Chain A
Amino acid sequence: MMTAPVVETYALGKSFGETPVLRDVNLKLYAGRAAILIGGNGAGKSTLLGILAGLGRPTTGRVTIFGEDSLSLSHQNRRRIGMLSHQSWLYPNLTASENLEFYAALYGLPHPEAVAHRWLERVGLLPFSRERVRAFSRGMEQRLSLARAVLAQPMLLLLDEPFAALDPEGVATVGGMVREQVERGCAVVMTAHGPTAIEGLELEAFSVVRGRLAPYGGERRGGRLRSIPGR
Chain B
Amino acid sequence: MGAFAAILRKDLRLELRSGQSTVALFALSLLILVVLVFALSPDPANRAEASAGALWVAMVFAGMLGATRALLAENENGCMRALATSPIDPAMLYAAKLAAAFIFMTVAEGAAVILVVLFFNLDFGPELLRLVPPVALGTLGFSALATLLAAISGRTRAGDLLLPLLAVPMFVPALIAGVKASAAALSGAELSAMTRWLGVLVAFDVLFVTLGGLLFEHVIGED
Interface residues of A (CB under 8 A from B): 50, 53-57, 75-76, 78-79, 81, 83, 85-94, 98, 102-103, 105-108, 148
Contacts and interface: CB of A to CB of B under 8 A. Distances in A.
22 contacts: A54-B85, A55-B221, A55-B223, A56-B222, A76-B87, A78-B85, A78-B87, A85-B81, A86-B78, A87-B81, A89-B79, A91-B10, A91-B79, A92-B76, A94-B10, A102-B10, A105-B2, A105-B6, A106-B83, A107-B86, A108-B2, A108-B87
A83 B85 contact: yes
Nearest to B78: A87
B222 A106 contact: no
Nearest to A101: B6
B3 A85 contact: no
A89 B10 contact: no
Given A78-B86, A105-B3, A94 B78 contact: no
Interface residues of B, number: 27
B85 A106 contact: no
A89 B78 contact: yes
A148 B79 CA distance: 12
B14 interface: yes
B7 interface: yes
A95 B191 CA distance: 50
A133 to B, nearest CB: 8
B155 interface: no
Majority secondary structure of chain B interface residues (helix, strand, loop or mixed): helix
Interface in B4-27: 5-7, 10, 13-14, 17-18
Nearest to A108: B2
A166 B159 CA distance: 34
B7 to A, nearest CB: 7
Nearest to A83: B85
Given A75-B89, A106-B86, A85 B78 contact: yes
A173 B96 CA distance: 35
A184 B150 CA distance: 41
Given A50-B223, A57-B222, A92 B77 contact: yes
Contacts of A98: 10, 13
Interface in B57-96: 73, 76-79, 81-89
B131 to A, nearest CB: 34
B76 A91 contact: yes
B170 to A, nearest CB: 28
B38 to A, nearest CB: 38
B11 to A, nearest CB: 10
A170 B33 CA distance: 55
Contacts of B84: 54-55
Contacts of A107: 86-87
B222 A54 contact: yes
Given A55-B223, A78-B87, A102-B10, 15 more contacts: A50-B223, A54-B84, A54-B222, A75-B89, A79-B86, A79-B87, A87-B81, A91-B76, A92-B77, A94-B13, A94-B14, A98-B10, A105-B2, A106-B83, A107-B86
